[in-house]
Amino acid sequence: MRRFFVAALVVASSLLVACGDPSAQPRTLTVKQALTSSTEVLEFETPASRQELFREIVRTSQAEAGRETNEPVLFPMSEGGRLVGAAPGLDPHADLLEAPDAGHPLQLVFNGRERWPEDRRDSLQGLSEREAAELVARSLLSHWGVSTDQEIVVERAPGAPYAAAYVDGMLRINPSFLYLAASFGLTSAPTP
């Protein structure tokens, strides 16, 4: 009986070693899956996984920057119903939750087709989706050089295959992108 117990213990410990540390497992989602999934799926991902997904979005945005194409891009822009192309690429060191003070603030309106949730989320650094959307919208619009006296409607676009799209004076933001952008701020804090 004792041999059986020892053998079972050896087999069990071998399986645990073979599986490795579950926190060190590679991420399971691709950027496309992350954007088209619900935000709840992203909340179950590790912060490191969300950070890597955000870095991948930044790299892809830089590769797509300014491209005039009819193929899907992460940050499409259109004017007058015509696709202009991909927006300028994101700065890999920019924290999108730190909106710039542009001097002439844009007038943002958040009463689109789908309501932005107001409950605060740990995965959004304690902000609500609505608050995070405002900061990200201001950061993106400033980075893209958008300047207007007209109101810009910031619409929630869950499940969209893009991170954010500026379409004829309307900014559509995929809420999953907010969760990925919020993970960047966790790494930008100085380490002790």
Portion of the chain with pLDDT greater than 90, in percent: 45
Given this model, what pLDDT does residue 154 score? 95
> Whole-number mean pLDDT of the chain?
80
| Count of residues making up the chain | 192
pLDDT > 50? residue 190: no
pLDDT in tens, 22-36: 444 554 789 999 999
Distance CA 47, CA 115 (A): 26
pLDDT one-digit tens code per residue, 170-179: 999 999 999 9
User: Which tops the pLDDT comparison, 147 or 103?
Assistant: 147
Q: What is the pLDDT of residues 34-52, one digit of tens each?
A: 999 889 988 889 999 999 9
